[in-house]
Amino acid sequence: MTSAPATQDLALSARGVRMEYLDRGTRERFVAIDSLDLDIKQGEFVTIVGPSGCGKSTFVKLVNGLLSATEGEILVRSVAKGKSDAMVFQDSALFPWYKIIDNVSYGLVCAGVSKKQAHERAMPLIKLVGLGGFENKYPYQLSGGMQQRANLARALCVDPAILLMDEPFAALDAQTREVMQAELLRIWRGAEAEGGARKTVLFITHQIEEAVFLSDRVIVMSARPGRIMEDIRIDLPRPRDLHVKRTPEFQEYQEQIWQLIASQLKAAASQFGGSTE
């Protein structure tokens, strides 16, 4: 980041974040994230990619408050209406004992909204994610892709200033995944039409193609300890559909990010004495 944007435009600001874990088995401390600085502007779609174990999931959990950092600070824009942030979990993490509508409105009920009102506010979102007619089903009656739609609707329902998505499509098959990527962009635009302001999204993935397709900016993280290696602006026109993946510009971005990650993998392999190929 060369020039720091004005603070009022920022949705998230992280400074010098360091996260250490204690390995219960070996009793050793290891550093998951080290000296991480990151600014995300309001309305930006930012994706963090990196090799597994680079601490990218840890970072969203820090933002969400599920974990607390060893050092550094993370500021999230506070908002008068709605929640400051909401998380779309990796495995859909729907409550199996609640119907879809109760799952989606869960955050509102937690915030003290009456059940009836919460249901009323959840319905448009259920329709937005394409689950209209399924609101009275239980999660087990839905496919994996549909469960992730409900997971997304649950996070959107609390009207968060920043939407945190922790590898939400990792468990889906390749085709469903492609559909869901396009759907996510549609829903992102749809939520904008409904709520006025464009949602800020912080998306975590290990899939480079997914990162390039979705994002305004891709943050490439290094292998453990996780540091930011590169911050790449993706200048592909929006609205995007899946055809953009066949364009040469798209492929170039993909290649550039792949080179960065490959260098990390090679370094990790030689460190453990393995071969690079």
Partner 1 sequence: MTAGTQMIAVTSNAERHRSRLPRWYRRREASILSFSGLAAFVIIWQVAAQIGQLDFTFFFASPTGIIEAASKEVQLPRFWDDVATSAWELLAGSGVALGLGVPIGLAIGWYRRVGFMFDPWLNFFNALPRIALLPLLVLWLGLGTEMKIAAVSLGAFFSIVVPTAQGVKTVDRNLLDVGRSMDASQGRIFTSIVLPATVPYIISGIRIAIGRGLIGVVVAEFYAQTKGIGVIIVKSQQALNSDRMLFGIILFTISGILLSYATSLLERRFQKWRPGQDMEE
Site for partner 1, rule CB under 8 A? 64-66, 83, 86-87, 89-91, 93, 95-98, 106-107, 110-111, 138-140, 158
Q: How far is the CB of 66 from partner 1 (least distance, A)?
A: 6
Instruction: Tell me if 253 sits within 8 A of 47, measured CB to CB.
Output: no
Q: How far is the CB of 275 from partner 1 (least distance, A)?
A: 36
Instruction: Tell me if 240 sits within 8 A of 185, measured CB to CB.
Output: yes
For residues 210 and 169, give the distance between their C-alpha atoms in angstroms, rounded to a whole number.
10
Q: How far is the CB of 250 from partner 1 (least distance, A)?
A: 33
DSSP 100-115: HHHHHTHHHHHTT--H
User: Token digits for 240?
Assistant: 């995007």
Q: How far is the CB of 164 from partner 1 (least distance, A)?
A: 9
- 230 forms beta bridges with 220
DSSP state letter for 25: T
Q: How far is the CB of 94 from partner 1 (least distance, A)?
A: 8
For residues 231 and 139, give the distance between their C-alpha atoms in angstroms, rounded to a whole number.
38
Q: How far is the CB of 154 from partner 1 (least distance, A)?
A: 8
107 or 226: CB nearest partner 1? 107
User: Token digits for 20?
Assistant: 């250490």
105 or 215: CB nearest partner 1? 105
138 or 258: CB nearest partner 1? 138
97 or 272: CB nearest partner 1? 97
The 10 Å CB-count burial string (b at 16+, else e) for 90-129 is bebebeeeebbbbbbbbbbbeeebeeeebbeebbebbebb
For residues 71 and 69, give the distance between their C-alpha atoms in angstroms, rounded to a whole number.
5
32 or 212: CB nearest partner 1? 32
122 or 261: CB nearest partner 1? 122
